[in-house]
């Protein structure tokens, strides 16, 4: 008999194993691991982990349903994030989605959200066809809401590095200015094991969120010429002061930029804040900072002016009934670590 339900602590080892399955790339395969405990890497205390397996077999799929309160048009609104989807490649297909969405619908009916936010990586044509192109009538509707640009920003040294600010000062600032962005979190929950550093610069406040104690990005293997060019690349990177490539099984040292806001549209100040965040992250031993900006965000050109690697995803507003309400002029915000 197939089993689709919410996860419990007894599922921890299997969830950690499924999360770590390598994801193939053009030049390298990455493994997104959740050591030492899968549940410590969740973003919210009340996150729901959905899992599925076929006829007593190993875990076939999982996803996370988060229910944060987000500001929409300046007002706290019950919203949801759908993320952390992992599927064993042996079990991809519509049958898996059918039973998974049946479970999601029952959870939504018991504790509804106005709508959900979800992303699909650019080029994932199978996911697009299953979720959008050929969705079943009983499934929620995925409405396109823009392109998410994920910038993997290279950190760099500085002397002296920026000084962090007190948490109380940061939360006071975000409580006042967070409503100026649609989908900004009303609260700033902290994952178990997270190290958080708050930075302020000329009316911009935000955090470097280091989750490496509970989430790790590990190189599973290199492909093509990188299998033998890596040592040469690392020599060049060391000479140029650039991030190197870890050995197979090594961890990519990165953190998220999150819970950031400003007291108005301040491109120059945002650039200065980014510079200080990158310098401070480098002093903490981090090589990358991950920043998510939508294509409509006025700060996107500022972020792209820094040295980075770019990844695109399609953002969807997911609803069971009706069309999404048009947003007002406030730019949308996404908390990248929640996806």
Q: In 3D, which of 89, 100, 121, 93 has the Cα closest to residue 18? A: 89
Q: What is the pLDDT of residue 97?
A: 79
CA distance to 147, 198, 202, per residue, from 206 (Å): 22, 6, 12
DSSP string, 225-291: THHHHHHHHHHHHHHHT---PPPTTPBP-EEEEEEEEESS--HHHHHHHHHHHHHHHHHTT--EEEE
Instruction: Give the bridge partners for 153, in sequence order.
Output: 289, 308
Distance, CA of 235 to chain centre: 31
Asked if 27 contacts 35 with a C-beta cutoff of 8 angstroms, the reply is no
A 10 A CB-CB count for 237 gives 15
Distance, CA of 214 to chain centre: 14
Return the structure tokens found at 24. 């193939």
C-alpha–C-alpha distance, residues 126 and 153, integer Å:
29
Query: 36 preceded by cis ω (within 30°)?
Result: yes
Asked if 206 contacts 277 with a C-beta cutoff of 8 angstroms, the reply is yes
Domains of the chain by residue range = 3-338
Q: What is the pLDDT of residue 91?
A: 77
The architecture of the domain spanning 3-338 is 3-Layer(aba) Sandwich (3.40)
C-alpha–C-alpha distance, residues 236 and 242, integer Å:
8
For residue 124, give every residue at least 6 positions away whose Cβ sits within 8 Å of its Cβ, in sequence order, or none.
Answer: none
C-alpha–C-alpha distance, residues 198 and 287, integer Å:
18
For residue 93, give every residue at least 6 positions away whose Cβ sits within 8 Å of its Cβ, in sequence order, or none.
Answer: none
Q: Give the pLDDT of the chain (339 residues) as one tens digit per residue.
A: 688 999 999 999 999 999 999 988 889 999 999 999 999 999 988 899 999 998 878 899 999 999 999 999 999 999 999 999 888 888 776 577 788 899 999 999 999 999 999 999 988 887 888 788 777 888 899 999 999 999 999 999 887 667 799 999 999 999 999 999 999 999 999 998 899 999 999 999 999 999 999 999 999 999 999 999 999 999 999 999 899 999 999 999 999 999 999 998 889 999 999 999 999 999 999 999 999 999 999 999 999 999 999 999 999 999 999 999 999 999 999 999 999
Half-sphere exposure of 216 (CA within 13 A, CB side): 18
DSSP character at residue 91:
G
Q: What is the pLDDT of residue 161?
A: 66
């Amino acid at each position: 008999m197939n089993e689709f339900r919410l996860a419990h602590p007894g599922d921890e080892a299997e969830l950690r194993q499924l999360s770590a399955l390598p994801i193939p790339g053009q030049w390298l395969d990455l493994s997104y691991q959740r050591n030492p405990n899968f549940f410590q890497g969740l973003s919210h205390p009340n996150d729901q982990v959905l899992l599925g397996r076929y006829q007593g077999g190993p875990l076939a799929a999982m996803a996370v349903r988060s229910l944060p309160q987000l500001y929409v048009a300046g007002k706290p609104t019950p919203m949801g994030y759908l993320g952390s989807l992992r599927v064993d490649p042996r079990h991809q297909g519509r049958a898996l989605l059918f039973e998974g969405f049946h479970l999601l619908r029952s959870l939504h009916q018991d504790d509804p959200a106005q709508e959900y936010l979800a992303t699909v990586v650019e080029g994932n044509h199978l996911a697009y066809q299953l979720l959008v192109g050929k969705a079943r009538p009983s499934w929620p509707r995925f409405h396109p809401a823009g392109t998410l640009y994920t910038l993997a920003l290279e950190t760099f040294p500085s002397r002296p590095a920026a000084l962090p600010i007190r948490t109380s000062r940061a939360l006071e600032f975000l409580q006042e200015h967070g409503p100026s962005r649609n989908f900004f979190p009303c609260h700033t929950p902290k994952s178990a094991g997270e190290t958080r550093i708050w930075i302020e610069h000329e009316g911009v406040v935000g955090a470097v969120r280091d989750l490496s104690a509970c989430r790790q990005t590990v190189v599973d293997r290199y492909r093509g010429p990188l299998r033998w060019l890596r040592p040469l690349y690392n020599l060049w990177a060391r000479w140029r002061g650039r991030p190197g490539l870890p050995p197979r099984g090594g961890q990519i040292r990165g953190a998220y930029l999150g819970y950031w806001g400003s007291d108005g549209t301040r491109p120059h100040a945002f650039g200065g804040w980014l510079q200080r965040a990158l310098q401070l992250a480098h002093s903490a031993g981090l090589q990358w900072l991950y920043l998510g900006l939508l294509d409509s965000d006025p700060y996107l050109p500022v972020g792209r002016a820094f040295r980075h690697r770019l990844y695109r995803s399609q953002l969807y507003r997911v609803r069971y009934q009706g069309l999404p309400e048009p947003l007002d002029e406030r730019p949308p915000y996404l908390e990248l670590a929640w996806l």
